Each structure stands twice: as structure tokens, then as C-alpha cells.
Amino acid sequence: MATLNDYLLASGLLFTVGFAGVLLRRNIIIIFMALELMLNAANLSLVGFSRFHTQAGLPDYNAQVLVFFIITVAAAEVAVGLAVIVALFRAKQTTHIENLNSLKF
């Protein structure tokens, strides 16, 4: 049987993959996808904690409600983020972050 540590390790590795994507890729849409990976890694650890913290023989459903809220907020965030990317593309005709540096110091 898998232990809580195994789930936390899987979640952390998924977070690392997303983090590497944010650092290494130059296309803003791929960076956005890697951000989604990191968000989902956090959700996986929350569900794991929920399952391993049983109360009266049931998983802790407060954590699952939190994950539900996070998924909802993430969906809203994706909608707004992609609208921003489309507006940015319309203004600059590119999605490469090397060409999107007008806010850079």
C-alpha cells in the first residue's frame, strides 16, 4: 500500500516538473500550462492529507471542499489569463517572453 509520503513525493515531483517548465520554457502559453501543473500538484497533496486524516472512519471532507474551491478559482484564472494572453498577442504579435519585456527593469 502506498503511504502518505509516497503521495507527497508524487505531488512534489509534479510541482518540480511544473516549476522547471516555468523556468525553462519561453512560450507564454506553455508557461501557463506549467503553472496549471503546479496548481494541481498542490491539490494532490491536499487530497492525500484529506484521505490520511480520517475522522470517525471518514476522510476529512474540509480538505476536499478546499480542493473544489481551488479548482473553481483555477478555472476562472485560466479564463482571465488566456484573455490577457490574447490581448497581449493582439498588441505585440508574439507569445515569446523575450519579446514581451517592456515591464522589465
- Footprint on this chain of other proteins (rule: CB under 8 A): 1-10, 12-14, 16-21, 23-27, 29-30, 32-34, 36-37, 40, 43-44, 47-48, 50-52, 54, 57-59, 61-62, 64-65, 67-69, 71-80, 82-87, 89, 95
Q: How far apart, in whole angstroms, are the C-alpha atoms of residue 87 and residue 82? A: 9
Instruction: Work out how close the CB of 11 gets to other proteins at its nearest, in angstroms, rounded to a whole number.
Output: 9
Q: How many residues does the chain have?
A: 105
Min separation Cβ 36 and other proteins, Å: 7
Report how far residue 15's alpha carbon sits from residue 21's, in angstroms, rounded to the nearest whole number: 10
Residue closer to other proteins by CB (options 77, 100) is 77
Question: 4-24 and 28-52 are packed helices; what angle lies between their axes, rounded to 10 degrees?
Answer: 170
- Provide CB contacts within 8 A for 52, sequence distance 6+: 4
Q: Looking at beta carbons only, is 75 or 103 nearer to other proteins?
A: 75
